[in-house]
Structure 1
Amino acid sequence: MTDTPAPLHYAPRWSDDDRPAPPYTGGERETLSAVLDWHRATFALKCSGLTPEQLNDRAVPPSALSLHGLVRHLAGAERWWFRIQFAGEDVPLLHYSDDDPDQDFDRLDGEVTEDFAVWQEECERSRRITGAAASLEETGIRRSTGEPISLRRILVDMIAEYARHNGHADLLRERLDGSTGL
């Protein structure tokens, strides 16, 4: 134990923050899964209470990012890493083609609520795939190289993906309505 006192002023929290905190101790799978779920919940919180128009707003020009585009991108990332590359499912890509690789951000056609529902379903499928794996050492096949990739690495990469995009969501949300918080 140290003599350094805890700071009195912590980063501000969202007023309606009901995210379960990841455990401070525990096994690797439990910790990685809980941190990824915390980041998923953080993204959902950053989008909560906004209108479809606000979710579509590209609020930080010249960037083409919007919260709607981010949810489309994250749904595609969930599907790509867990279902296609790890589980080997033969399902189509979401909001991507080699001819139009940025359609997740550039084309905001469709209903925002439907895109959020697709993202939530992809997250749930990813949780089931992770839960069904015998260990974090299980591997899928990276489509770009044909090399094996472990579930552990996928979980770490997805945590990084969400952390990066939650930073984008922070900026977008603050620009949209001034809301800030961890």
Structure 2
Amino acid sequence: MYLNNSQSPIITTNGDIEAANNPRIYHLVKPIDDHQFPNNKLIERTHKAIPEIFLTRLLSTKGTIQKFVDDFFLTILTVNEALPPAVKWLFDLLDEAARKHGIQDPEVVHAWKSNSLPLRFWVNFIKNPDFIFDINKTSTLDSCLSVIAQTFMDACSTTEHRLGKDSPSNKLLFAKVTNLT
């Protein structure tokens, strides 16, 4: 966040930020106003410069929230003694459908299970906490939650991901955690 004259923002109980000089909030890349820069070369240069500038901030932010993200995933993915009855019923139903239709490929059943619970339910919950909780989801929060949800989807994938210098920063940032190397 960038504040003019080094004023501290006031964070209200619903998570909104209030400040006298209207703070500008950025998520990794500063939004570009087309009317602000008519020259396309300046826009390209701005998009290339900002990721390098904010790399340190990105890494420190990841370090700050990593414990909370880890705890969340540990909570939703840990099975105590038995699967919850609804999840066990769903997975048994998918296993039975595979047997009934002669599907021998374990990747197909894995895809069904991955798409049903983690990718359809939990990713939707991660990206849209406002569906369940009474919160104001700002565009910055939406962008951050989308990165976490995309990382979760990548971790559920069985395909091999190739990373390079042009890979998105969120994939590079979480490559070690999701075994995307």
- Quick check: TM above 0.5? no
Which structure has the larger Rg over C-alpha atoms?
2
Give me the TM-score of the superposition, normalised by structure 1.
0.26
Of Structure 1 and Structure 2, the greater helix share is in: 2
Give me the TM-score of the superposition, normalised by structure 2.
0.26
